[in-house]
Structure 1
Amino acid sequence: MTSSTDTLTPTAVRPESKFRSYTRLGKLDVYDYYLSILVVLSAVIVPAGRFGPATAAMLVAFLLGEIFVIMALVAFDDLTGFRDGSDIANYGPDNPLRMKLRKPLVAGTLTAREALGFGWVTAAIGGALWVGAIALGPHRAMWTVLLIAVLYVISLQYSYGIKISYHGFQEAFIAALGVALVVAPYGLATGTFSWFVFVQALLFGAGPLMFGVYSNTNDVEGDRAVGRPTVAALVSPRGNAIFVGSLSAAEFLIGAVASASGIAPWWFVFLMLPATVLRARQYFLGFRRDDIMRARKLGFVVHRVSVVLLIAANLLAGWGAAA
């Protein structure tokens, strides 16, 4: 019996080194999730008494583990997308805006077996590094340890194993991953839960979520063809536009409610306004100018600006508390 992978023929492109293909498979050029550690660092470095060698070592180990776990996640995602044909459709000759080399399986520069091996090796290394981060951390509250364990297991199931993203939870997962990557190392560093840091984690998770929903808008036909139930694939174009607009508004409201309620300093919502303006610009590009791919690209800028603003907020709040 012929397997589904045997019936798919990747599109051959110019050859490149295996190392380069593996870095593409691991999406090392997309570092936006990894910025979570800078948000945590800014939250614990002031006042100075909370930051020491144990915290520094833990943050380094957690970051390295994060990199390897996410490399495993995206490798498994590419493998599943190749096997079910969605990546062939979304990165094929009918979609010249997508660079085929970013998908080594579609490009034919890696085999499915090589991608699977890469996924499991990086998953093992990432898991070991997170165990090391727990051991190095100055605090090991049970809720933090459990959060990291759940984060690890669920990350590998995003589009492999139980395939969370194929059961209607893709958008929620993308956001929750970003939230956990802030809350977990903060818990290891301080042993406490902070509502202000949680608000920052929500805003951090919104970044990957937003360029995810713009990608889904572009990939709607391929996702529908393989039964991947993203919101864009399930609703009408107008419904999807309303959904994305609601997420954009919610991002602003999170900061506004946090400032109004006292969870965050009163000035927090005003500090985050540059990101709010850019988010509005992103929506205008995507759903008024109908330029989804430019809007998706702008989403990376919005997220990175937001991270800089979150770091500034933590430093300002920390200096105020230390004064």
Structure 2
Amino acid sequence: MSIAVPAPTRLGAFARLAKLDVWDYYLAVPLAWALCGPPAWGSTDVLVTLGLFLLGTVGVVAGAVAFDDVTGFRDGSDAANYGPDAPARRLARKPLLTGELTEREAIVFGWCATLFGTLVWTWTAAFAPFRPLWVLLLLAACLISAVQYSWGLKISYRGWQEVFLAGFGIGLVLAAVGLCTGEMSAFTLVQAILFGLGPLLFGVYSNTRDAVGDARVGRPTVAVLLSTRGNIAFIAALSVGEIALIVLSSGLGAAPWWFAPAMLPAMGLRVAQLHRGLGLGDVLGARLIGLHAHRTTVALLIVVNLFTPALGGWS
């Protein structure tokens, strides 16, 4: 199905295929920098390592979303979820659907982007101050799962979409920190999980909106597999779980005692998202709040990491 919309440039079409305007996973890099601590903040090796890591991540993500668009175009799920009545700005995010790019062009772009990301991540690991085995394995897992998300094994079509959305973000933060410090503290793990929950907690609202189209092509997201009530309970449990992680990590000593109060704005946005999506039934509005909640969470985590040394650590 092809729906004509104005196309500014072919370069712009490839940028939209790569979803370069959705940069939420890329925030793992500044968060990782903040997590490295004062000795590493001004280190040239650390800054170059993180710069290369970011460049490679852009390539890996661009390849993954390009393949996702090809699969969605082939099976008709994108045509169902981005129909002719969709606003032109939203529809333009699918250049295969609008006819701006051919399927072959998208596949070639996907493989080129993936190859670029793989080579740059390999270069990053070779240059990094540390390269423990667990980091290399984590990088390999992130790369393989991203490529196979909607291509090859199609893990998102086998019930693993939600696991990937969170796990990929967690893996990015831990791998970036590991390459720079060789370590993973409990507080680093807490922040990596909070980071990974961000994409998941706006992805589940998108899946709720797209449940009919996903069910039609056999993509078993939680929204497809569960009843409406069950899906609501799942989303609520994720939201409450995120807040509980923040509070308990402070109370049990995995984070500074003042961590939970510092994260109150992010927790407030998560409650507002629940109210908008589950209370008022505005799924797309809740998804937008989820984007703001994720970005606010990352900004607050960076501030927390920057201020922790000045406040005497966790005392």
Bucket of the pairwise TM-score, normalised by the shorter protein: over 0.9
Matched, 1:121 2:112: yes
| Paired amino acid for 2:289 | L
Q: Given the superposition, is the C-alpha separation of residues 276 and 321 from structure 1 closer, same or farther in structure 2, using an over 3 Å criterion?
A: closer
Amino acid at match of 2:10: K
Q: Report the CA distance between 1:261 and its aligned residue.
A: 1.2
Preserved contact between residue 256 and residue 313 of structure 2 (Cα < 8 Å): no
Find out whether 1:42 has 2:34 as its counterpart.
Answer: yes
1:219 to 189, 203, 210: 210
CA shift in 2, pair 1:123/1:268, >3 Å: same
Check if 1:184 corresponds to 2:175.
yes
Are residues 1:144 and 2:135 paired? yes
* Farther-moved stretch of structure 1 (212-221 vs 270-279): 270-279
Q: CA deviation at 1:322?
A: 11
Change (3 A) 1:49 1:249: closer
Is contact 1:82–1:105 with CA below 8 Å preserved after alignment? Answer: yes
What is the deviation of 1:26? 0.4
Say whether the 8 Å CA contact 1:47–1:321 is kept in structure 2: no
Of the three residues 11, 18, 23, the one matched with 1:26 is 18
What pairs with 1:98-177 in structure 2 (closer than 5 Å)? Answer: 99-177=90-168
CA distance in structure 2 between the aligned counterparts of 1:205 and 1:105, rounded to whole angstroms: 29
Identity of aligned residues (%): 47
Change over 3 Å in CA distance of 1:175–1:21 after alignment to 2: same
Q: Which amino acid aligns with 1:32?
A: D
* d(CA) in 2 for partners of 1:235, 1:211: 18
Alignment deviations for residues 67-109 of structure 1 (CA, whole Å, 9 cap, x no partner): 1100111101111011010000000125459711111111111
The one of 276, 284, 292 aligned to 2:275: 284
Question: How far apart in 1 are the matches of 2:270 and 2:89?
Answer: 23
Contact 1:159 1:165 in 2 (8 A): yes
Does the aligned pair in 2 maintain the 1:47–1:322 contact within 8 Å?
A: no
- CA-to-aligned-CA distance 1:190-226 (integer Å, 9 cap, x gap): 0112110110000001110011000001001000000
Query: Does the aligned pair in 2 maintain the 1:105–1:111 contact within 8 Å?
Result: yes
Q: CA deviation at 1:14?
A: 2.0
Secondary structure of the residue that 1:138 maps to in structure 2?
A: coil
Q: 1: distance between equivalents of 2:147 and 2:27?
A: 20
Give the 3-state SS of the residue equivalent to 1:99 in structure 2. Answer: helix
Structure 2 contact 211–223 (Cα < 8 Å) conserved: yes
Which stretch has the larger CA shift, 311-320 or 113-122? 311-320
Find 1:69's aligned residue among 57, 60, 66.
Answer: 60
Alpha-carbon distance between aligned partners in 2 of 1:24 and 1:97, rounded to the nearest angstrom: 13
Q: Does 1:233 align with 2:224?
A: yes
Normalising to structure 1: TM-score of the pair? 0.94
Classify the secondary structure of the residue corresponding to 2:308: helix
Large movers: runs of 4+ above 3 Å: 94-98
Q: Is the 8 A contact 2:4 2:99 kept in 1?
A: yes
What is the CA distance between 1:12 and its match in structure 2? 1.9
Q: 1:16 touches 1:109 (CA, 8 Å); kept in 2?
A: no
Q: Return the letter of the residue paired with 1:12.
A: A
Deviation, structure 1 residue 139: 0.6
Distance 1:315 1:218 in 2: 38
Q: Number of residues paired by the alignment?
A: 314
Whole-angstrom distance in 2 between the partners of 1:115 and 1:270: 46
8 A Cα contact 2:256 2:314, kept in partner: no
Partner of 1:5: none
Structure 1: segments with no counterpart, 5+ residues: 1-8
Instruction: For 1:199-218, list aligned pairs within 5 A.
Output: 199-218=190-209
Deviation for aligned residue 1:48? 2.8
* 8 Å CA contact 1:167, 1:228 repeated in 2: yes
Across the aligned residues of Structure 1 and Structure 2, the Cα RMSD in angstroms comes to 1.6
| Amino acid of the structure 2 residue aligned with 1:39 | L
- After TM superposition, the score normalised by the length of structure 2 is 0.96
Amino acid at match of 1:119: G
Cα pair 1:260 1:266 within 8 Å, conserved: yes
